[in-house]
Amino acid sequence: MQRKKKSMPPALMLGALLAVAVIIVLLVWSVGSNSSSGMTGRASRLGALPGQSVTPFGEDVLYYDGTMLQCVSDTGSTRWNFQVGANAGFSAANQRVVAWSANQLYALNARGQNTYNNRMNSEIQFARVGKGYIAAFVGTSDTGTVYVIDNDGASVDAITVQDMTLLDMGFFNVGDSEYLWVLGIETSGTVISTILQTYQPGRLVLGNTTLGEQLVYEVYYANDHLYVVDTRKIRAYDYRITRDQNVSDVLIYGWYLEDTRKVGNTTYQLLVPASTDAEGMTTLRLMYGSTDRVMHLPAGCIGAALGTKSVYAFSSTHVYRCRYGEQTFTAYTMPVQISQMLGMLQDDKVIVASGSETYVIELPS
């Protein structure tokens, strides 16, 4: 007599199918990230709100609370504070800070000591700081003067700005010499044109060039070149703003330069998509030396940055790390849910916002 084969109970069959589905999902996720998820280091709460101009300052963090400029450690403890008044602004570089409120200008060292202060003759629009100088744009948005002041407090230059909307300026070093670049939009003509100039403090203008109608949003110095970044390409100049014919333009239409970092003798450039959908960014573009490659992320992300050894991308719950020279990302669970990535400290720690709170989180290198 033939024995009738027993069928699997429906509930047991459904459970088995669900288990198989979960295993498949996990395998797919594992292939995309090349790693099961680990954990990052600790999260240290800062006293700053996300909208208080939270800024990396070496291994510390700066923020402006409405009257005081605060400097805190990566664990949130106070390093120093300095009263700058209401409606103030600040900029930091080279372990120095320049701050301004109305027509009052301050320069501070890494310990928060006031090394220079002066009441300028008109309202300060913005200021920048270098190793040996500070530069302050004083006047209205399209008419005024850029004052360049050395570390002894002496005014070494007064650059007139007229019929030009000043966009930005900054210092860069070539060998032992320090230079200033000034970027603006000429407003006197019928066609909008972007102008870039360079100066050596205390001397005449070194270079002056018209960059055309494209919007320039970044100027930086690396590898013996002054790079100018607009919405379509990256162009290379020398410190006198002469084009280097041996360096080709890099087309970046559809991408936005998010970060640059020099590690040893190599300068890395990280680009993110110029526009994203609700999923967030799913690709990055990394350039260094002769390498230019697109990197695919395991999940949609809200921010990305360069570290000392790796590229980092951040979702609301994870950080994805890919070491320089490698191809795949490893996923790590973040200790808090992230709503915004605010900046990177020097030692592979990230400043993030989680709702109305801010934290510093130690990242795997």
- List per-residue pLDDT tens for the chain, 365 residues long: 333 334 445 444 444 444 444 444 443 343 344 455 688 889 999 999 999 999 999 999 999 999 999 999 999 999 999 999 999 999 999 999 999 999 999 999 999 999 999 999 999 999 999 999 999 999 998 899 999 999 999 999 999 998 889 999 999 999 999 999 999 998 877 788 999 999 999 887 889 999 988 889 999 999 899 999 999 999 999 999 999 888 899 999 999 999 999 999 999 999 999 998 888 999 999 999 999 999 999 999 999 999 999 999 999 999 999 999 999 999 999 999 999 999 999 899 999 999 999 999 999 98
* Cβ atoms within 10 Å of 256's Cβ, excluding its own: 17
Does 106 map to a domain?
A: yes
Does 98 map to a domain?
A: yes
In 3-state terms the chain splits into helix, strand, coil percentages (rounded to 5) of: 5, 55, 35
Does 44 map to a domain?
A: no
What pLDDT sits at residue 203? 84
Question: What's the number of domains the chain is made of?
Answer: 1
* Cβ atoms within 10 Å of 255's Cβ, excluding its own: 21
DSSP 134-197: EEEEEESSSEEEEEEEETTS-EEEEEEEESEEEEEEEEEEETTEEEEEEEEEE-SSSS-EEEEE
Does 262 map to a domain?
A: no
* DSSP H/E element including 17: helix 10-33
Does 328 map to a domain?
A: no
What pLDDT sits at residue 37? 61
What pLDDT sits at residue 187? 80
Does 330 map to a domain?
A: no
Does 203 map to a domain?
A: yes
Q: What is the pTM of this model?
A: 0.86
**Angle (CA) 281 283 287, round 5°:** 125
Nearest CA among 121, 164, 160 for reference residue 141: 164
* CATH number for position 205: 2.130.10.10
Match 């020279």 to its residue by tokens.
Answer: 325
What pLDDT sits at residue 33? 42
Look up the domain containing 184 and give its range.
Answer: 84-253
**Angle (CA) 35 39 45, round 5°:** 145
For residues 347 and 56, the answer to whether their CB atoms sit within 8 Å is no
Does 240 map to a domain?
A: yes
The radius of gyration of the chain from alpha carbons, rounded to an integer in Å, stands at 25
